[in-house]
Amino acid sequence: MVRYGIAGFGLHAVRRLMPGFALAQRSRVVALSRRDLQKGQAEAARFGIAHAFASTDELCRCPEVDAVFVTSPNAIHLADVLTAIRHGKPVLCEKPMALNAGEADQMTDVADQSKVLLGIAQCFRFEESVRRIRESVQRGEIGRVVSIRSDFTHPGLASARRWLHDAAIAGGGPIADVGVHCVDAMRYILGDEPERVFAATVADEHSGTVEASALLTLKFSSGAVGSSFVSFRAPYQSPITVVGTEGTILAHDGLTIEHPVVIERRKAGQVETQVETQEVSNADTYARQVDAFSTAIEDGIPFPVPGEEGLQNQRILDALYRSAQSGREEKIA
């Protein structure tokens, strides 16, 4: 059993992580840190967590903490990850990994030099829906993929995370917050990397220093074209569509954990279109993720999303933001 300390215990930890730990088989939370210690102590009492600290450094000094899960605002990820590594604690960092690829590169370098395990919490790689879609694509069930689309929208103005609208803390708007999920899902499903990207963004009177919505285009090395619409101004939805030369895979709300996901595979025949459907649940996504990290710690099995994967996602995000500024396609650095 791996004992975790959650650094930056906030809304995400309450809504997603603690329910996930409750289902986990190899992982449990024994400590948390929060700048407002009184609130941290209240959350610790609420969830039966033994220790509450006011800083990540104090959390990492706790001898009962085997690993650290960094869930602080994006601008603090670098400092928190480096603190955990300095204390020799394996660290799982929330997405997006950092504010930019330079920070992400620094994290991976220090982790490698220190021989400390660094993972990135791209949780949707642990979803059953994404796994099924990926396997279908990799088996060639819809032929050669020509297009993949992954959208993600939610009503960001209603979010308690007010820092989402401050680029200095968040690094960007929906491109950074949920676009990273779309980018990672497309990379993972295709088993391919984008070479060039384009981003068109819009802002409004509420968006602060970040974009309110964006339309993203990714050109993959295989010739497939990826696209994604991300927004803080629409109801929650996360559809996935993969179009191949011999069929199509559709999953409305393909990334959700809130309810079962129906995956539809359409294969066009000479006379009629054949449609196959399957229903899957992603309810244990967060438990799968943290148990996979615990397995990597205890058994030495590679974690599916190491720091290098987060760094690659960050390079793509950086290129998307360069494109939004230049109005041109940009190459991945």
Rounded CA-CA distance 310/36 in Å is 29
Alpha helix segments (H runs only) across 62-100: 77-86
The average confidence (pLDDT) of the chain is 96
Matching CATH topology for 2-121+286-306 and 125-280?
A: no
Classify residue 237 by burial, with Cβ atoms within 10 Å: 0-12, 13-18, 19+. middle
Spans of all domains in the chain? 2-121+286-306, 125-280
Let me know: does 116 contact 88? Beta carbons within 8 Å.
yes
CA atoms within 13 A on the CB side of 181: 24
State in words which class domain 125-280 has.
alpha beta
Each residue's pLDDT tens digit, 1-54: 999 999 999 999 999 999 999 999 999 999 999 999 999 999 999 999 999 999
Residue of 228, 200, 208 whose CA lies nearest to 323: 200
N- to C-terminal Cα separation, the chain = 39
Rounded CA-CA distance 93/68 in Å is 8
Strands 213-220 and 273-280: unpaired
pTM: predicted TM-score of the whole model, two decimal places: 0.96
Classify residue 21 by burial, with Cβ atoms within 10 Å: 0-12, 13-18, 19+. buried
Each residue's pLDDT tens digit, 86-104: 999 999 999 999 999 999 9
Q: Which residues of the chain have pLDDT under 70?
A: 269-272
Residues counted in the chain? 333
Let me know: does 310 contact 125? Beta carbons within 8 Å.
no
Is 2-121+286-306 assigned to CATH 3.30.530.20? no
* Structure tokens belonging to residue 280: 């899957």
What does the pLDDT read at residue 320?
A: 98
